[in-house]
């Protein structure tokens, strides 16, 4: 039996039209997916409730909705590390993850690590050793370094670890490997390394 495009073709409980509306099939009586979603998480020790488009990245939620502009949008492809924040104790590229994926999470940005009158030790070390030039990558560098040292303390290994059965030491090779996802286009790597070494307690 020939069926016109206007009638569509019934396949089970799905009505297929030609062409599909919006590029997808819709079951009769089904509601379209919501354009916005309610999400709650803790940001720098404070609970924040947002209603966001489900496609909003965590980076955009922080910058555009909460006005926490410390995390920077660099490449927007997870390649430069400028957007690094700490979520539930682990560092992530906030440009690569959706905000709605972090319901109930604890998010720490550079603003939550310290204040101008009470800097986090890593922030103070970056100042002491001039671990920045233009400063654009610095928030991501610092957040990454803080979480990276916690990784070392918990015994998480990297590609540079010589042993998989012992806790990796804070060697230069370990620090370089673990910070390799954070790019400094100004080239302040040696100063960044010195700052991290001081906080790690391995001398300069």
CATH number of domain containing 87: 3.10.20.30
Are 132 and 189 part of one and the same domain? yes
Structure pTM? 0.80
Are 108 and 138 part of one and the same domain? no
Q: Specify the number of domains making up the chain.
A: 2
The pLDDT of residue 156: 75
Q: Identify the domain boundary among 61, 89, 112.
A: 112
The more confidently predicted of residues 34 and 92 is: 92
User: Using 50, 70 and 90 to split pLDDT, how confident is the model at 34?
Assistant: low
Asked if the structure places residue 180 within a domain, the reply is: yes
Mean of the pLDDT values across residues 152-156? 84
Are 58 and 99 part of one and the same domain? yes
Q: Taking every pair of C-alpha atoms in the chain, what is the biggest distance, in angstroms?
A: 82
Are 98 and 54 part of one and the same domain? yes
For the record, the structure tokens of 117 come out as 């009158």
Asked if the structure places residue 9 within a domain, the reply is: no
Range of the domain at 155: 121-200
Mean of the pLDDT values across residues 82-95? 97
Residues 6+ apart with CB under 8 A from 162: 168
Are 69 and 125 part of one and the same domain? no
User: In angstroms, rounded to a whole number, what is the distance separating the alpha carbons of residues 123 and 93?
Assistant: 19
pLDDT over 90 at 45, yes or no = yes
Asked if the structure places residue 26 within a domain, the reply is: no
């Amino acid at each position: 039996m020939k069926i016109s495009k206007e009638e569509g073709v019934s396949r089970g409980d799905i009505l297929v039209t030609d062409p599909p509306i919006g590029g997808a099939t819709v079951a009769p009586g089904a509601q379209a997916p919501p354009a916005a979603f309610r999400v709650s998480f803790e940001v720098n020790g404070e609970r924040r409730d947002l209603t966001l488009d489900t496609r909003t990245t965590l980076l955009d939620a922080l910058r555009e909705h909460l006005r926490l502009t410390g995390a920077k949008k660099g490449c927007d492809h997870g390649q430069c590390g400028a957007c690094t924040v700490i979520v539930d104790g682990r560092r992530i590229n906030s440009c690569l993850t959706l905000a709605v994926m972090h319901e109930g999470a604890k998010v720490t940005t550079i603003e939550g690590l310290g204040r101008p009158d009470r800097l986090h030790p890593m922030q103070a070390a970056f100042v002491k050793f001039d671990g920045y030039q233009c400063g654009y990558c610095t928030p991501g560098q610092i957040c990454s370094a803080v979480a990276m040292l916690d990784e070392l303390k918990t015994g998480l290994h990297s590609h540079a670890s010589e042993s998989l059965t012992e806790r990796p030491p804070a060697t230069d090779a370990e620090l370089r490997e673990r910070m390799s996802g954070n790019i400094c286009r100004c080239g302040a790597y040696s100063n960044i390394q010195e700052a991290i070494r001081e906080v790690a307690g391995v001398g300069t």
